[in-house]
């Protein structure tokens, strides 16, 4: 059994503290106006120390994106990919959709998406960084999940990437864009589950269920 050294723990804690402050600065000031100097000042340290952990504002933004997206994606690794006595494919997909949409419509994640949209016109690399560290990773997780589901015979053979994309799009349909535009408030748990259930039922009409 191995343990992280105290130095490793301090380094990790410092990185997390930097990312937490960077989150505040990016969301309040925008990517363009945010500076390493301001982040260092809020941390109470020197800019040189900050650069010891992150070599550029872009690298710090990537770390911020990674941390923000990780909990959004982790839940997919815990969903059953093989048939179980008390699980149906429909139930599993509803749970997947509820967890995904609940995470994506949180105020904190909506704020990140709005930041990227506001800045991407002037900073195209920001859109690329967001896509590679968020949506692209989510697409890969959906694809991997459906590879396992299809291999287990729970859904008919199909392109797992297309299957994952179609489910994701149905779950997000209408709700997420209106949430992003600020014309839809947070859904109640019952409203969110009802929307996801309708989306999953439409999905299964197209891609079939084998339970």
Q: How far is CA 193 from CA 77, 92, 97, 149, in A?
A: 20, 13, 8, 22
Residue 77 CA to residue 73 CA, distance in Å, equals 8
Q: What is the pLDDT of residue 84?
A: 57
Ramachandran assignment for 116, one of left (phi > 0), alpha (psi -120 to 50 degrees), beta (any other): alpha
Instruction: Compute the half-sphere exposure of residue 56: CA atoms within 13 Å on the CB side of its CA.
Output: 3
In this structure, what token pair is assigned to residue 207?
Answer: 């891609």
Give the pLDDT band (50/70/90) at residue 132: confident
**Section 156-175 average pLDDT:** 95
Predicted structure pTM score: 0.79
Residue 55 CA to residue 48 CA, distance in Å, equals 10
Q: How far is CA 52 from CA 55, 56, 81, 154, 179, in A?
A: 7, 10, 42, 49, 38
Residue 47 CA to residue 41 CA, distance in Å, equals 8
What three-state secondary structure class fits 175?
helix
CATH homologous superfamily of 62-207: Tetracycline Repressor, domain 2 (1.10.357.10)
- Taking the domains of the chain in order of start, what are their residue ranges? 1-55, 62-207
Sequence-distant (≥ 6) Cβ neighbours of residue 115 within 8 angstroms: 26, 27, 30, 31
pLDDT tens figures, 70-110: 766 776 666 666 655 467 899 999 999 998 899 889 888 89
The per-residue b/e assignment along 138-174, b for 16 or more CB within 10 angstroms, e otherwise, is beebbbbbbbebbeeebbeeeebeebbebbbebbbee
Q: What is the CATH number assigned to the segment(s) 1-55?
A: 1.10.10.60
pLDDT tens figures, 28-40: 988 888 999 999 9
Phi, psi at residue 109, to the nearest 5°? -80, -35
């Amino acid at each position: 059994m191995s343990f992280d050294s105290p130095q490793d723990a301090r380094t990790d804690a410092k990185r997390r503290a930097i990312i937490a402050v960077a989150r505040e600065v990016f969301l309040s000031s925008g990517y363009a106006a945010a500076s390493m100097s301001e982040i260092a000042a809020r941390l109470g340290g020197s800019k040189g120390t900050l650069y010891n952990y992150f070599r550029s504002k872009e690298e710090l933004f990537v770390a911020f994106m990674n941390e923000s997206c990780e909990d959004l994606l982790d839940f997919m690794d815990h969903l059953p990919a093989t048939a179980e006595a008390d699980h149906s494919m429909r139930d599993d997909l509803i749970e997947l959709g509820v967890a995904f949409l609940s995470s994506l419509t949180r105020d904190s994640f909506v704020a990140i998406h709005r930041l990227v949209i506001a800045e991407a016109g002037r900073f195209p690399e920001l859109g690329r960084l967001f896509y590679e560290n968020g949506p692209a990773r989510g697409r890969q997780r959906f694809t991997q999940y459906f590879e396992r589901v299809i291999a287990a015979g729970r859904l008919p053979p199909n392109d797992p990437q297309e299957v994952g994309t179609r489910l994701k799009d149905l779950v997000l349909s209408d709700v997420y864009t209106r949430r992003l535009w600020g014309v839809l408030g947070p859904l109640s748990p019952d409203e969110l589950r009802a929307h996801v259930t309708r989306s999953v039922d439409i999905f299964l009409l197209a891609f079939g269920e084998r339970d």
